[in-house]
A and B are shown apart, each in its own frame.
Chain A
Amino acid sequence: MSEKKPALWLRIYSFLVYGFIYAPILILIVFSFNTQKLNVRWEGFTLEWYKVLFADSQIFLATRNTLMIAFVSTLVATIIGTMAALAMHRYRFPFYNVSETVMYIPIVIPEVVMGISLLVFFVMINFTLGLATITLSHIAFNIPFVALVVRARLHGYDKAIDEAAMDLGANELTTFWRVTLPTIMPGVLSGAMLALTLSLDDYVITYFTAGPGSTTLPLRVFSMVKTAVTPEINALSTIWVLIIFVLLVIGQVAQRKKA
């Protein structure tokens, strides 16, 4: 498309939709510095809520759990998912279509269904709910997303460079480590980034697979939201938003530099 510039009304309209998208987040940030507890009117500047937040030991624990789960599940899912993407892209093997269909299941079924089915599974095999069950579940929903992203990046991969490496005497393994992997690395990294964000953000599946003492940050925020509205949540949100923004901007800049 393109060529013609968008009409004025369309530009104004789009500007308003961007406003709708950003307003809630800006409001959270502004009110995190507000002396008023009710999040309604601006009264004065304070850092009180940040002090409360940093003294909150439950938040500290939840953050630790969240990061641990996200790190382990991303690592495992990235390895397994990348292997699957390579398999789907380069090879034909028995039950190819079945494997492919199964990979789409976690993406297309409603999250709540996946959550309860995992709960049923863990209870039936007598697996105590906790950090381990959350991590195992996160790996399950992350594998397909990593595989999907890496596979998309494999499109247009020139097999000739692998063949060239082998003609020069490298065996399969060396070719993989020295040629294939470095070439597909950007795809693997973006798959890992997606897995990391999905894991950090997940509420539904974590909710069903968590046990006592394995509260994650989204679970903790949810129970805070349900019990009392306090600007401590705003402070937490602001820090969260800032960290994510910084990471994303770094990622974008790194990508631009490469290109």
Chain B
Amino acid sequence: MISEQVGAEPKKKASLFTVLRENSRAQGLFLISPTNIYLFLMVVLPLILVTGLSFLSRGAYGQVLFRFNLTNYTRLFDALYGKVMVFSLGIGIGTTLICILVGYPLAYFLARAPARQRSLLLFLILLPFWTNFIIRIFAWMIILRSGGLLDTILQWLHITQAPLNLLYTPTAVLIGMVYEFLPFMVLPLYTSLEKIENSLLEAAADLGAPPWKAFLRVTLPLSVPGMIAGTILTFIPAMGMFVVPDILGGAKTILIGNVIRNQFLTARDWPFGAAASMVLMIMTMVLTLYYTRKAGFGEELLV
């Protein structure tokens, strides 16, 4: 409200200035309003538009008709798209689980590494991910191609005889996704593990717990917040991903992200694409809320 008065009249400027000087609420509002206005226009309003759009109909030429329609939502659960939804969930869950399995020991290693080396080791994990995302996925395309690098190496080692034909399969998509999201799992896990006091483990040992039991009863439960933060950071982007399936999955691997993209750019059924977006958003939000309420975390997300 105050910021609206800024350019109004030169006379009021002086009074605004005094208000800003003396009133700390006015100062706060002045500082936050550019963000509020910008994000309302560019984030909230567009999302409201998409919500409305998802209840409209598509015309014969791909235009949007202002006719109320719920079939956009029911269509998402028919045989064809229901399969895509299940498959997307599968890839999302699979990516997250593999990231936990691969990332947990690494995070544990980082938490146990000598303090002097730790920041360097963390930096080394992040370093490759500052390069371009498309480039990294392209590298996997080279590696996984039929007769490509992986095939060549495996055949040279006499592990396989024929090409594996990995590229353009769900496996390739999974590999690319895990590669892409592993750091998002490792970092929050590391933050949780690093905070665990060594005295707790010593106490467990003093009370007669063998190391594996101490791990299961002390370390693992205490690292749950990190695991949840990592799950949110991997699952949400994995669910909406369409670039990895596009490059590594070929025509057969279609995720919900691909469906949304296609509806907006090739099939030109915007209302249906909007409905798919709403469902994706609601699924990820419900999950996020459920887990954040359950585990109450904060700083794990902020690494």
Contacts and interface: CB of A to CB of B under 8 A. Distances in A.
A171 B17 CA distance: 12
A18 B106 CA distance: 9
Centre residue among B39, B110, B152 by max chain A CB count within 10 A: B39
B21 interface: yes
Interface in B99-144: 102, 105-106, 108-115, 123-125, 127-128, 130-143
Given A110-B257, A137-B42, A27 B139 contact: yes
A203 B261 CA distance: 13
A222 B39 contact: no
A117 B298 CA distance: 28
Contact of A110 (B46, B145, B237): B237
A22 B261 contact: no
Nearest to B236: A110
Interface of A is mostly: helix
Interface in A199-229: 200-201, 203-204, 208, 217-218, 221-222, 225-226, 229
Contacts of A147: 35
B264 A119 contact: yes
Interface stretch (A50-58, A183-191, A240-248): A240-248
A218 to B, nearest CB: 5
A40 B46 contact: no
Given A31-B142, A40-B147, A91-B28, A116 B35 contact: no
A121 B24 CA distance: 35
B25 A40 contact: no
A200 B36 CA distance: 25
A134 interface: no
B29 A93 contact: yes
Nearest to B200: A1
B19 interface: no
Interface string A127-147: 000000000110110011001
A250 B153 CA distance: 36
Nearest to A9: B105
Interface in A125-174: 136-137, 139-140, 143-144, 147-148, 152, 171-172
Interface in B216-263: 232, 236-237, 239-243, 246-247, 257, 260-261
Contacts of A44: none
B86 interface: no
B49 A25 contact: no
A83 B194 contact: no
A46 interface: no
Given A28-B135, A112-B260, A120-B270, A93 B25 contact: yes
Nearest to A225: B138
Contact of B280 (A20, A25, A110, A240): A110
A222 B75 CA distance: 31
B44 interface: yes
Contacts of A105: 39, 43-44, 47
A20 B197 CA distance: 31
B134 A10 contact: no
B163 to A, nearest CB: 11
A225 B141 contact: yes
Interface of B is mostly: helix
Nearest to A140: B42
A226 B111 CA distance: 40
B198 A2 contact: yes
A114 B43 contact: yes
A140 B47 CA distance: 13
Contact of A18 (B124, B152, B273): B124
B220 to A, nearest CB: 13
A150 to B, nearest CB: 12
A2 B201 CA distance: 11
Nearest to A88: B32
B39 A109 contact: no
A17 B102 contact: yes
A1 B136 CA distance: 33
B40 A118 contact: no
B197 to A, nearest CB: 8
B179 interface: yes
Nearest to B288: A108
Nearest to A110: B240
B32 A109 contact: no
B71 interface: no
Contacts of A4: 112
Nearest 5 interchain pairs by C-beta: A91-B28, A110-B240, A24-B139, A87-B31, A93-B28
Given A84-B35, A116-B261, 5 more contacts: A6-B109, A21-B128, A113-B47, A121-B49, A233-B138
11 contacts: A17-B106, A24-B136, A24-B179, A83-B35, A91-B25, A93-B29, A103-B35, A113-B260, A114-B43, A114-B46, A147-B35
Interface of A: 1-6, 10-11, 13-14, 17-18, 20-25, 27-28, 31, 39-41, 80-81, 83-84, 86-88, 90-95, 99, 102-103, 105-106, 108-114, 116-121, 124, 136-137, 139-140, 143-144, 147-148, 152, 171-172, 197, 200-201, 203-204, 208, 217-218, 221-222, 225-226, 229, 233, 236-237, 240-241, 244-245, 248, 252
